[in-house]
């Protein structure tokens, strides 16, 4: 182009091309010079022979290669680093008890470095950590050792764990028995995993309120601080792909966890593109085991050294906290079950309660009535204003759903075979021996709706009551009528001709009578004239379920399995909508 411009005597354009031509030439000469210097060994100018097995780091004697560096580090088991020798202390649990009596600390020995044991204090250098490494590099072993070391250093009253294993649940199955574990979920049950993330969000808000109420800067300044919570996520990239809407909760924990005593340890095979910039900005400790791509190593460490770790050295890693880069070999527990048994023995010796579960499993397909019956017996029977009939789910924990028969009528709406009649049977069995309740039951028979009084007033005026009345005391209360009406659609029909229609409609408006009735649809049910509380069995038809009162966000959480499960319903009471699983078996009368 320069030659053409000179021939045509376009001097202005030729002068514009000259600077660019000089710059390109200088860049080409510099690149050739660097390439020539890189191919030569310092001092002799010889190239390494092809196939001689030497890596670029081996070709440069000024740089010690990763294989040589890790080979010089002693390999030790976790027991030899964290526990005294058996001849000094034959019972490991006694050593753990002594460590628990010391001030709490988040420092744990996770391996060996060139200078000896490698301790990592997550509260001082963290408070969060990111672990990366390819399959077989030793990520799960590192997490197990780390959690086991912290459990032997802190009692369950000062440290709790929540394990989120998105690798099938094998990583933390051995540690799940520790008394420190407040939750353990895997990707085989995503509904359980979402509950765990919802519970962590709720725990974050609870700690925020606790700090704000005491006007403290962080939980460590409280007189009775809550135990530290360590959240360990194995295969974070799988969590991100399967539950993308819930990753923001972990990002918020990473942003606010330092002052609230919450620590996050995320483990992934590929940190590139899987961990957001907001999350990385709050993670100070990066541990990189062997990776395949030098870019993955640079993502965490700022250098490609982790890509040169030999596959024959599982557990070899680099740890960076932003100030220093250290090479280490992670230690492995020789017998995890024996170590967990020692922790359990120490917990029993100290009489410490295990960690309270932070969340529970989702609603079961069959609700077991035995625990509820045992609880009722321990309280001496059923209270007339709180009749248990189902297991409730608030999205995090399971509880017991109760009907308040003193606060208005109850409608049970759903198709046949869903469990409507079973609800009435459970309520009838629970109220059968309550002295302050008069029970009436109506069922559809061959000749229309048949009604009967199951039990009349149980309280008889005694001599003590008569004496109390003579002294001006109030008379004993009259039993409250509870009318249980099954298949009440004919009674609710404004044009119905059943003989009980008029009496039933009058009972619905009588504040002294509580009517619990079942219906196929909400067609003839008026809220709040007929009922203030509803139990709705979803049909699967969205317009029908929405018109029955089920909120759209709750209806979206119902899966096809939920719709096919008998007894699965929504409890609508005083402005709250709660998923429930109705008790399947009719309990016997409570003595």
Q: pLDDT tens string for the chain (591 positions)?
A: 888 888 888 888 878 888 888 888 888 888 787 766 654 444 443 433 333 333 334 434 334 444 446 778 888 999 999 999 999 999 999 999 999 999 999 999 999 998 899 999 998 887 999 999 998 888 999 999 999 999 999 999 999 999 998 887 777 888 999 999 999 998 778 888 999 999 999 999 999 999 999 999 889 899 899 999 999 999 888 888 888 888 888 889 999 988 999 999 999 888 777 788 888 888 989 999 999 888 888 888 888 889 888 888 889 999 998 788 899 999 999 999 999 999 999 999 999 999 999 999 899 888 877 677 677 667 666 666 788 899 999 989 998 899 888 888 999 999 988 999 999 988 888 887 777 788 888 887 655 555 565 544 433 333 344 444 444 554 444 578 899 999 999 889 888 888 888 999 999 999 889 999 999 999 999 998 899 899 999 999 999 999 999 999 999 888 889 999 999 999 999 889 999 999 986 555 444
Asked if the structure places residue 472 within a domain, the reply is no
Q: Is residue 173 part of a domain?
A: yes
Task: Please name which of 144, 130, 105, 154 lies closest in space to residue 330, comparing C-alpha atoms.
Answer: 144
Structure-token pair, residue 240: 């991100």
Q: Any known ligand binding at 559? A: no
Whether residues 384 and 425 share a domain: the answer is yes
Q: Is 441 a member of any domain?
A: yes
Q: Which residues contact 380 (CB under 8 A, 6 or more apart)?
A: none
Q: Bridge partners of 481?
A: 438, 513
Is residue 462 in a domain?
A: no
Residues 334/142, Cβ–Cβ less than 8 Å:
no
E-state strands within 92-154: 107-113, 116-121, 129-132
Instruction: Find residue 453's DSSP bridge partners.
Output: 440
Same domain membership, residue 82 and residue 136: yes
Tell whether 295 and 404 lie within a shared domain.
no
Please, are residues 159 and 180 in contact by the beta-carbon 8 Å criterion? Answer: yes
**E-assigned strand segments in 394-479:** 398-403, 410-413, 437-445, 448-455
Clarify whether residues 297 and 395 are in a common domain.
Answer: no
CATH classification of the domain holding 493? 3.40.50.300
State the DSSP code for 553: H
Question: Are residue 449 and residue 316 in the same domain, yes or no?
Answer: no
Q: How far apart are CA 109 and CA 88, in angstroms?
A: 20
Task: From 317, 349, 381, give the residue that closes a domain.
Answer: 349
**Cβ of 327: how many Cβ atoms within 10 Å?**
22
The answer to the question of whether 25 is labelled as a binding residue is no
Q: Is 451 annotated as a binding residue?
A: no
> Are the C-beta atoms of residues 582 and 426 closer than 8 Å to each other?
yes
- What distance in Å separates the CA atoms of residue 372 and residue 367, rounded to the nearest whole number? 10
Three-class SS state of 577: strand
> Taking the mean position of all CA atoms in its chain, how far away is CA 74?
38
CA distances to 27, 381, 519, 546 from 516, in Å: 88, 21, 10, 22
From 295, 314, 349, give the residue that closes a domain. 349
| 582 φ/ψ angles, rounded to the nearest 5 degrees | -70, 145
Annotated binding-site residue? 134: yes
Instruction: Identify whether residues 284 and 401 lie together within a single domain.
Output: no
Q: In Å, what is the CA distance from 95 to each residue of 31, 99, 101, 108, 134?
A: 62, 6, 10, 15, 35
Co-location of 208 and 283 in the same domain = yes
Residues 318, 375 within the same domain: no
> Is the same domain home to 415 and 531?
yes
Question: What is the H or E stretch that residue 125 is in?
Answer: helix 122-125
Would residue 427 count as lying in a domain? yes
DSSP string of 40-90?
SPTTT-PPPPTTS---HHHH-TTS--HHHHHHTSPP-BHHHHHS--TTT-S
Residue 540, annotated as binding a ligand: no
- The answer to whether the annotation marks 136 as part of a ligand binding site is yes
Give dist(CA 193, CA 531) in Å, integer.
36
User: Does residue 363 sit within a domain?
Assistant: no
Establish if 22 belongs to a structural domain: no
Residue 355 lies in a domain: no
Last residue within a domain, chosen from 294, 315, 349: 349
Residues 537/418, Cβ–Cβ less than 8 Å: yes
Indicate the number of domains in the chain.
2
Residue 446 confidence (pLDDT): 54
For 138, the domain range is 70-349
- Is the peptide bond preceding residue 417 cis, with omega within 30 degrees of 0? no
pTM of the model: 0.77
Strand partners, 117: 112
> Which contacts (CB < 8 Å, 24+ apart) does range 422-426 have?
422/567, 422/582, 422/583, 422/584, 422/586, 423/389, 423/390, 423/518, 423/535, 423/582, 424/484, 424/486, 424/516, 424/518, 425/586, 426/389, 426/582, 426/583, 426/586, 426/587
Residue reference for tokens 């940190």: 271
333 preceded by a cis bond (ω within 30 of 0): no
Q: Where are the beta strands (DSSP E) in 187-284?
A: 228-234, 262-268
Tell me: do 304 and 413 sit in the same domain: no
Q: Which residue has the tokens 């988040």?
A: 106
Cross-strand bridge partners of residue 388: 402
78 phi-psi bin (left φ>0, alpha ψ -120 to 50, beta other): alpha
Is the same domain home to 322 and 434? no
Separation between Cα atoms, residue 492 and residue 129, nearest integer Å: 62
- Strand ranges across the sheet with 568-573: 398-403, 387-393, 576-582, 568-573, 533-536, 410-413, 513-519, 480-485, 437-445, 448-455
Residues 6 or more apart whose CB falls under 8 angstroms from that of 35 comprise none
Cα–Cα dist 430/404, whole Å: 12
Distance CA 253, CA 255 (A): 5
Residues 313, 290: Cα–Cα separation, whole Å: 9
Contact in structure between 160 and 230 (CB atoms under 8 Å):
yes
Q: Are residues 269 and 339 in the same domain?
A: yes
């Amino acid at each position: 182009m320069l030659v053409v411009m000179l021939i045509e005597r376009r001097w202005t354009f030729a002068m514009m091309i000259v600077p660019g031509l000089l710059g390109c030439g200088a860049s080409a000469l510099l690149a050739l010079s660097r390439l020539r210097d890189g191919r030569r060994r310092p001092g002799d100018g010889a190239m390494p022979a092809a196939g001689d097995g030497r890596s670029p780091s081996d070709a440069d004697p000024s740089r010690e290669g990763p294989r040589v560096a890790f080979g010089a580090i002693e390999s030790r088991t976790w027991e030899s680093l964290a526990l005294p020798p058996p001849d000094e202390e034959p019972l490991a649990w006694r050593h753990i008890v002594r460590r628990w009596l010391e001030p709490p600390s988040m420092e744990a020995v996770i391996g060996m470095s060139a200078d000896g044991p490698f301790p990592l204090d997550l509260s001082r250098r963290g408070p969060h950590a990111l672990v990366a490494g390819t399959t077989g590099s030793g990520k799960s072993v590192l997490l197990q050792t780390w959690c086991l070391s912290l459990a032997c250093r802190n009692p369950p009253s000062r440290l709790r764990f929540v394990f989120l294993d998105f690798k099938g649940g094998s990583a933390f199955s051995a540690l799940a028995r520790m008394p420190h574990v407040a939750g353990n979920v895997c990707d085989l049950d995503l509904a359980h995993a979402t509950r765990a993330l919802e519970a962590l969000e709720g725990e974050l808000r609870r700690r925020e309120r606790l700090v704000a109420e005491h006007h403290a800067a962080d939980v460590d300044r409280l007189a009775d601080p809550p135990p530290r919570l360590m959240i360990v996520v194995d295969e974070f990239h799988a969590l991100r792909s399967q539950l993308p809407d819930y990753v923001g909760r972990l990002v918020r924990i990473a942003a606010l966890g330092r002052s609230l005593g919450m620590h996050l340890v995320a483990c992934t095979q590929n940190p590139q593109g899987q961990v957001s910039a907001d999350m990385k900005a709050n993670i100070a400790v990066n541990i990189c085991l062997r990776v395949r791509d030098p870019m993955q190593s640079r993502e965490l460490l700022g250098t490609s050294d982790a890509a040169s770790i030999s596959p024959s050295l599982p557990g070899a890693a680099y740890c960076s906290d932003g100030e220093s880069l250290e090479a280490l070999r992670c230690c492995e527990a020789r017998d995890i079950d024996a170590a967990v048994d020692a922790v359990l023995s120490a917990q029993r010796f100290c009489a410490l309660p295990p960690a309270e579960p932070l969340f529970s499993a989702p609603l079961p397909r069959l609700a077991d009535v035995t625990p509820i019956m045992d609880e009722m017996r321990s309280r001496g029977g059923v209270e007339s204003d709180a009749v248990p009939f189902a297991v409730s789910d608030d999205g995090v924990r399971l509880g017991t759903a109760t009907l308040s028969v003193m606060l208005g009528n109850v409608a049970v709406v759903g198709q046949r075979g869903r469990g409507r009649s079973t609800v009435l049977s459970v309520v009838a069995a629970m109220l059968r021996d309550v002295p302050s309740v008069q029970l009436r039951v109506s069922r559809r028979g061959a000749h229309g709706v048949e009604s009967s009084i199951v039990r009349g007033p149980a309280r008889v005026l005694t001599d003590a009551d008569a004496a109390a009345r003579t002294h001006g005391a109030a008379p004993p209360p009259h039993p409250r009528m509870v009318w249980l009406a099954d298949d009440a659609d004919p009674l609710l029909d404004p044009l119905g001709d059943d003989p009980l229609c008029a009496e039933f409609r009058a009972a619905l408006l009588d504040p002294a009578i509580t009517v619990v009735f079942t219906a196929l649809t909400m067609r003839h049910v008026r809220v709040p004239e007929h009922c203030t509380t509803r139990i709705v069995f979803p049909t699967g038809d969205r317009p029908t379920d929405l018109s029955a009162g089920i909120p759209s966000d709750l209806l979206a959480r119902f899966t096809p399995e939920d719709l096919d499960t008998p007894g699965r319903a929504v409890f609508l009471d005083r402005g709250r909508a709660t998923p429930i699983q109705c008790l399947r078996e009719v309990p016997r009368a409570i003595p």
